Amino acid sequence: MKDIQVKDSTKEKAPQKEAQEDSEEASSDDDEYDDIDDDEDEPMDEGDEPTTCLFCTETSPNITTAIDHLDTQHKVNLSQLQRKFQMDQYSFIKLINYIRATKTTAEQLLSTEQDLWQDEKYLKPGEYEPWLCYDYEVLKSDVVPGQDTVSELQQRIAEQAQLLQQANEDMERMRNDYKELLQKVHGDGEPKDAGNSVPRNNTSLDNEYFKSYSHFGIHHEMLSDKVRTSTYRASLFQNEAVVRGKTVLDVGCGTGILSIFASKAGAARVVGIDNSEIVYTAMDIVRKNKIDNVQLIKGRLEDTDLPEEKYDIIISEWMGYFLLYESMLDSIIYAREHHLNPNGIILPSRCTLSLLGYGNDTLYAEQVDFWSNVYDVDMTALRKRSIEEPLMEVVEAEFMLTDPEQIANFDIMTVDLNYPNFSYNFNLKVTKPGRLSAFVGYFDTLFELPSPVTFSTSPTATPTHWKQTVFFIDQPQIVKEGDVISGKITSRRHREDVRALSVDIEVFGKKHKYMVV
């Protein structure tokens, strides 16, 4: 029995030993798998690879040290770049490849206001380097996500305070206007300074006018007009000695582009004013571009108290179709009389208006004769309207039949509010035989500075968004080379809409009436 018990005991212990060995082997295998799992769960350790600086030949033992080197030696803080340009992982990869490809310096990177590396070609890597594998999402930001910096909050508070102040001033003006209206109604006389006021439209027309400048499309059209925008920029940049250290008032600032140009040309301080809602977007543009010396204001110039009473330079893009449409020159005259320093200047300095004879049978057929048969319907009743409303169109220079003649010259330093009202007797010399069916008006703009700059809206010049103004006549006339076409053009401010023009052209024994709207 004893032997049997020993045997049984041995038989019982053997499986236990085998089970223990199996357990130890399994445990060992599990540890190996655990090690593999742990390795897979942990992010790749980019930190141990030697990393060459983005801007110099310094090689750091790891990328963390390299990032610190960027901050301390080159003043390039990746966290600040991340906030400034709203960068994600792909943006940083593009940035690294952009720096390597263009050999951009730290100073150039710090001064840029645009993420020039957004082209998809910068996603294609060159040689491998740790910068391309670093997890930029872990960059620590000094600002809690979604929370503004102190300076941004202060800026917003200042803007809100300014808007509140303007609202209070608007309320005060409304009260004063109401008092003046009561005085007029009750026969107590004209409002104070009524004789010196700028001509005003009725409220609904003016509201529509300013509202039209709130739309994106009109600003895209103006800014993409390279002749217009580049000439204004050139007038400032090529005359920095005139602009540097000066105060500038930008009347009708729109998107703020001229204000920004003036700042970059060295102006000490720039104030822009516009009564359109676009000015709020312009404020964001100025803030985004970190232009500290530009202040934009929402309001009608004639009704608004400016931060400073007087300015050294007044700049404005006030020209309309046929130069005078919109009557924005009224506001420039007001700015000159109330806000220009004694030795100040106005840009542009001068504008001239010219007229020429024109004959394009195809254009006349499309715009005037068209109404004789519209899908077999006689619509000649609309033919008269097609003549009365001038066509704004880029016309082809080859159909010019006469030399141009200057019919008006406006010196912005001396022009008065009577500027829309003028008459001129013209004598246009025919230079090419043809069938004269229209007269074409255009204007030239002059910046009379030490380095003078000009642009023209002539049919022979590069087209602009102003195009040309085509005044069709009722009965086209055959002319031959050497003839002189004599006539009279008269312009008047429209009675019902002060921003519109009534134009008469007396020629070939007939008076043609037009309304530029």
* Residue 157, pLDDT score: 77
Rounded to 10°, the helix 63-74/78-85 angle is 80
Of 25-29, 176-180, 323-327, least confident by mean pLDDT is: 25-29
Is cis: bond before 348, omega within 30 of 0? Answer: yes
Confidence check: pLDDT of 10 > 50: no
Which one from 326, 337, 481, 506 is the annotated catalytic residue?
Answer: 326
Q: Which residue has the higher pLDDT, 58 or 190?
A: 58
Tell me the backbone φ, ψ of residue 355, rounded to 5 degrees: -135, 145
Q: What is the pLDDT of the chain when averaged over all its residues?
A: 82
Of 89-98, 381-390, 493-502, least confident by mean pLDDT is: 493-502
For residue range 65-105, what is the model confidence (pLDDT) as tens digits? 999 999 999 999 998 888 888 888 888 888 988 898 899 99
Dihedral sign (CA 89, 290, 140, 129): positive
Q: Which residue has the higher pLDDT, 153 or 28?
A: 153
Residues in contact with 25: Cβ distance below 8 Å, sequence separation at least 6, in sequence order: none
Give the separation between CA 440 and CA 398, rounded to whole angstroms: 13
* Residue 217, pLDDT score: 60
Of 68-82, 123-137, 168-182, least confident by mean pLDDT is: 168-182
Question: Is the pTM value of this prediction over 0.85?
Answer: no
Q: Which residue has the higher pLDDT, 507 or 187?
A: 507
Quick one: 92 exposed, middle or buried, by C-beta within 10 A (0-12, 13-18, 19+)? buried
Confidence check: pLDDT of 508 > 60: yes
* Residue 116, pLDDT score: 87
For residue range 439-485, what is the model confidence (pLDDT) as tens digits? 999 999 999 999 999 999 999 999 999 999 999 999 999 999 999 99
CB 263 within 8 A of CB 296: no
* Residue 229, pLDDT score: 93
Q: Is 326 labeled as catalytic in the residue annotation?
A: yes
Give the separation between CA 244 and CA 265, rounded to whole angstroms: 7
* Residue 152, pLDDT score: 61
Confidence check: pLDDT of 46 > 50: no
Going by pLDDT thresholds of 50, 70 and 90, the confidence category of residue 5 is very low
* Residue 407, pLDDT score: 97
* Residue 414, pLDDT score: 95
Confidence check: pLDDT of 1 > 90: no
Mean pLDDT, to the nearest integer, of 155-176? 68
* Residue 271, pLDDT score: 97
For residue range 291-346, what is the model confidence (pLDDT) as tens digits? 999 999 999 898 899 999 999 999 999 999 899 887 789 999 999 999 999 999 99
Confidence check: pLDDT of 146 > 60: no
Of 45-49, 141-145, 396-400, 506-510, least confident by mean pLDDT is: 141-145
How far is the CA of 356 from the CAs of 43, 227, 289, 472, 515, in angstroms? 76, 22, 44, 12, 18
* Residue 187, pLDDT score: 44
Give the separation between CA 82 and CA 439, rounded to whole angstroms: 58
Which one from 172, 317, 398, 481 is the annotated catalytic residue?
Answer: 317
Going by pLDDT thresholds of 50, 70 and 90, the confidence category of residue 148 is low
% pLDDT > 70, the chain: 76
Give the separation between CA 423 and CA 115, rounded to whole angstroms: 54
Q: What is the residue-wise DSSP string for 332-372?
A: HHHHHHHHEEEEEEEES-EEEEEEEEE--HHHHHHHTGGGG
Which of 331, 326, 361, 350 lies closest to 498, judged by CA?
326
Which of 481, 480, 455, 459 lies closest to 468, judged by CA?
459
Q: Which residue has the higher pLDDT, 26 or 281?
A: 281
Which of 480, 470, 477 lies closest to 509, judged by CA?
477
How far is the CA of 99 from the CAs of 37, 206, 481, in angstroms? 37, 51, 64
Mean pLDDT, to the nearest integer, of 474-500? 91
Quick one: 21 exposed, middle or buried, by C-beta within 10 A (0-12, 13-18, 19+)? exposed
For residue range 181-231, what is the model confidence (pLDDT) as tens digits? 555 544 444 443 434 566 665 555 455 544 444 445 656 777 788 999 999
* Residue 509, pLDDT score: 94
* Residue 189, pLDDT score: 40
Burial 447-459 (b: 16+ CB within 10 A, else e): bbbeeebebbbbb
* Residue 111, pLDDT score: 86
* Residue 117, pLDDT score: 87
